Amino acid sequence: MILSLFRTDPAQEAGQALYDAAVNKARAMPFYRDLAVPDTLEGRFEMIAIHVFLILRRLKGEDAACKKVSQKLFDIMFQNMDDSLRELGVGDLVVGKKIRKLAENFFGRVGAYEEAMRKDAAENNLQALAKALGRNVYEDEAAPHAGDLATYVLSAVACIEKQPPARIAGGIIRFPDVGAQS
């Protein structure tokens, strides 16, 4: 009975490992140095959101274990955002509103990225995704590096698609190097 208090939830552990992997990749210097992603709170949120989206996209439609890990990943992401806002000194009364706004922003981005990747031809995917990323990451649809970031995202989609969903649901994922898609 007491031992059950010390058992860990495999889905929680996998979700945390996936979130950690997404954050680590989102912090990769080439995004900020080479692709000119703004090195701000907003820019870092955008990169985390992209990498979490990529993971959630891969696990979507898979078995119940993948669904559970997806939910844990999402929950962990927003709990981390909540914790970060509190560390920055945002008051308790405002945190909920800010988290709600971040969640709305995240779902808006997911919708825009999914729509951009639904296009028929690969060239259209790249252009549509570059516009969506330009709008969200750079605040300019025609941002000079939006196409490079879109190329990375499509490369990451291809890389993640090759990875077994059970492995990802176990908390193990690999993202491509930034610039490796060239």
Look up tokens 């990875």; give the residue. 163
Q: Residue 22: pLDDT band by 50, 70, 90 thresholds?
A: very high
Distance (Å, rounded) from C-alpha 49 to C-alpha 105?
A: 9
Q: What is the mean pLDDT of the chain?
A: 89
Q: What is the pLDDT of residues 58-75, one digit of tens each?
A: 999 888 899 999 999 999
List helix spans (H) across the chain: 10-26, 29-33, 41-59, 64-87, 92-117, 122-133, 146-161, 165-169
Query: pTM surpassing 0.85?
Result: yes
